[in-house]
Amino acid sequence: MAASSVIDIKGLSKIYGSGSKATVALDKLTLQVQPGEIFGYLGPNGAGKTTTIRVLLDLIRPSNGSASIFGLDARQQSVEIHQRIGFLPGELSLWQGRSGAQVIHYIASVRGDIKSVVKQAEELAARLKLDISKKVRDLSSGNKRKLGLVIAMMHSPDLLILDEPTNGLDPLVQQTFHELMNEFRDKGKTVFLSSHVLSEVQAICNRVGILRDGDLKAVQSVEALTDVKFRWVHVQFRDGVPAEVAQGLRNLPAVSEFNADGSHARMRLQGDFDPLLRTIAAGYVEQLHVEEPTLEDIFLAYYSGEGAGA
Amino acid sequence: MTGAVFIEIFKQTWKQMLAWGIGLAALAMLVVLMVPLFDMQDMKSLLESFPPFILAMIGVGRDLEVFATNEGFVAIGFFGKSALIFAVYPVVMGMRITAEEEDNGIMDVLLSLPVSRAQVLVEKFLAYCVSIFGVVALIYLGVGIGDSLGNVGLDVGRLTEVTFYLIPLMIFVMAATMLVAAVARRRMVALGVITAFVVASFSLQTIGLAAEGTVAEPLGTVSFFSYYNAGDILREGFIWPHIAGYVALSLVMLAVSLYRYERRDVGV
């Protein structure tokens, strides 16, 4: 349903430089983000996440393809689009000699409707425990980030574009950030956030796109992405890992990446538990712990080419 | 909202405008206060013994008659000789139109707002034009205060045109800086290019004056400083074709900057 998508990217490529020095930052990227979802855009540094965001904001121009937001062309109608979006850059720079309140007032004045925007900004700042009377140069990196979030959200945009939003935020503020995002989504608004913090994406996103070397590897719901067929199993034996148990586990087709260290064994299980349980029963098991794969595991699986469910 | 960038830039700049204006006004005042210390006829006799190229090097050139008056001493001794100093302020301001904020990443925030690139450039350009006017007005005030304090008896009115003629010159330098930054992208590259341009222009003007009557004389006409000649302005008042030249070239450079900045990647 591309027509109703909030973000619609078609065949987008971005090449920096030319000739032998050409670098492909994005390669024929096609992606849609639907209204009311929080879309996580995952990838390591240099994958092309920020390049995608900068194209969406018309800060850079694509080499090929197109991008639209709210059905408007990201390049030709950028001013109309920017009226309805909030943006937090990955590396936020603001006017060092101005106070948080002055920066807010400036940006509110560019947006128009100063009074209500500033009021909303003050509420957000209070919620994030940010002192906006301080000059930007006196703010810690975490507080600058909070100010960036306030600026991005203070005009109640329909779409938030956030580049690594929780970088530098302490865990308590991260929690507040998650609450803000969920409230934002509950109002039917949309968030497009790039991150390499997978637990954050797991906690708040509906869908995730995985980007690598400018190439979109997969787009899935977080549930589908985490619905994989393997588990990590940890077994603690009282008298060390018995040799016959270790050998038996190694021989099980469902077990891989087996590691034994003293009395502790760790393995990856892909399949039923029963053969594993029968094998370890030959030893005295003190503890058995089953660990769900983290998104990091899935992430690594994608990057190693295995894909989810491997 | 239209005008928001203009107002904010002015808020961010007025202190620097005051600092530059007061500094240059103090310098102007000092030169005015020095006038009674010289006997202009003695000075004229002394300078007449100098070869033309020396006169050119010290900024007097062919304006010996004008220089030997109180107003001429101020016009040529301060406004003529300090032209290079007057070029520094518009270079600093011109760098702020795009290069500085692009280099430090602030432009990303600004251009994510509902404002076009053209609007940002034009509003900033106009705000810095106002600050140039403020600096020049303070210099004029400095001349007037110096005259009153020292009882110099200058005809300050004759210096009005010399002073306010600085505005088109400084706007021209700022427009050139903006153009270089719009093309070069990187702050340090833009700063290097514009500094070289200003210094080369000043050198060409000096060479042109020093080499009067030789094949090197036309070199001076290439320099934009040649169209701000304090002695000529004192004699003839505003030289409108020169002012029109500064304004027209500034507008052309503004237009080319807009064209270039609209079409390129920002912050790359």
Mean pLDDT, rounded, for B179-199: 94
pLDDT band at A308 (very low <50, low <70, confident <90, very high): very low
The better pLDDT of the pair A131, B209 is held by A131
CA-wise closest residue to B253 among B143, B122, B153: B122
| Helices (runs of H) and strands (runs of E) counted in chain A | 11, 14
Judgement on whether residues A221 and A237 belong to the same structural domain of the protein: no
Residue identified by tokens 């036309």 is B218
Tokens of A283: 């030893």
Q: Give residue A85's pLDDT.
A: 97
Mean pLDDT, rounded, for A91-98: 94
Residues 56-115 of B with CB under 8 A from A: 104-106, 108-115
Q: Report the DSSP pairing between strands A38-42 and A64-69.
A: unpaired
ipTM of the complex: 0.85
Mean pLDDT, rounded, for B90-119: 95
Q: What is the mean pLDDT of chain A?
A: 90
Angle between helices B83-97 and B166-184 (to 10 degrees): 40
Number of domains in chain A: 2
pLDDT at A3 over 60: no
Mean pLDDT, rounded, for A187-197: 91
pLDDT at A37 over 60: yes
Q: Give residue A303's pLDDT.
A: 63
In a domain, A135, yes or no: no
Q: Which domain holds residue A11?
A: 2-84+157-225
Among the candidates A209, A225, A241, a domain finishes at A225
- pLDDT, tens digit, for every residue of A238-250? 989 999 999 999 9
The CATH number of the domain holding residue A272 is 3.30.70.2470
CA distance A248 to A167: 45
- pLDDT, tens digit, for every residue of A207-229? 999 888 899 988 988 887 776 67
The better pLDDT of the pair A195, A304 is held by A195
Q: Is B265 on the interface with A (CB under 8 A)?
A: yes
Test mutation, A18, A106, A162, chain B, max B CBs within 10 A: A106
Q: Report the DSSP pairing between strands A231-237 and A264-269.
A: antiparallel
pLDDT at B62 over 90: no
Q: Nearest CA of chain B to the CA of A233: how many Å? A: 47
**Do B109 and A59 make contact, defined as CB atoms within 8 angstroms?**
no
- DSSP reduced 3-state for A42: strand
Question: What is the sign of the dihedral through the CA atoms of A23, A27, A28 and A30?
Answer: negative
**Do B4 and A109 make contact, defined as CB atoms within 8 angstroms?**
yes
Q: Give residue A295's pLDDT.
A: 64
The alpha carbon torsion through A211, A214, A219, A222 (nearest 10 deg) reads: 20
- pLDDT, tens digit, for every residue of A72-85? 999 999 999 999 99
Mean pLDDT, rounded, for B133-138: 97
Test mutation, A21, A58, A59, chain B, max B CBs within 10 A: A59
The CATH number of the domain holding residue A40 is 3.40.50.300
Cβ(B186)–Cβ(B71) below 8 Å: no
Q: Among all residues of chain A, which has the CA nearest to that of B102?
A: A93
The better pLDDT of the pair A3, B213 is held by B213
Q: Among all residues of chain B, which has the CA nearest to that of A60?
A: B265
Q: Give residue A2's pLDDT.
A: 45
Q: Among all residues of chain B, which has the CA nearest to that of A57?
A: B112
In a domain, A114, yes or no: no
CA distance A122 to A114: 12
Mean pLDDT, rounded, for A41-61: 92
In a domain, A131, yes or no: no
Judgement on whether residues A220 and A248 belong to the same structural domain of the protein: no
Tokens of A287: 């503890």
In a domain, A98, yes or no: no
**Do A111 and B113 make contact, defined as CB atoms within 8 angstroms?**
yes
pLDDT band at A182 (very low <50, low <70, confident <90, very high): very high
- pLDDT, tens digit, for every residue of A251-293? 999 999 999 999 999 999 988 999 999 999 999 999 999 987 7
pLDDT band at A305 (very low <50, low <70, confident <90, very high): low
In a domain, A298, yes or no: no
The better pLDDT of the pair A73, B51 is held by A73
- DSSP reduced 3-state for B236: helix
Chain A residues closer than 8 Å to B260 by CB: none
Q: Give residue A304's pLDDT.
A: 64
Q: Give residue A33's pLDDT.
A: 96
Judgement on whether residues A194 and A258 belong to the same structural domain of the protein: no
Of A37-41, B191-195, B237-241, the range with the lowest mean pLDDT is: B237-241
Judgement on whether residues A8 and A68 belong to the same structural domain of the protein: yes
The alpha carbon torsion through B252, B125, B265, B193 (nearest 10 deg) reads: 70
Q: Give residue A302's pLDDT.
A: 66
Question: What is the sign of the dihedral through the CA atoms of A152, A158, A161 and A166?
Answer: positive
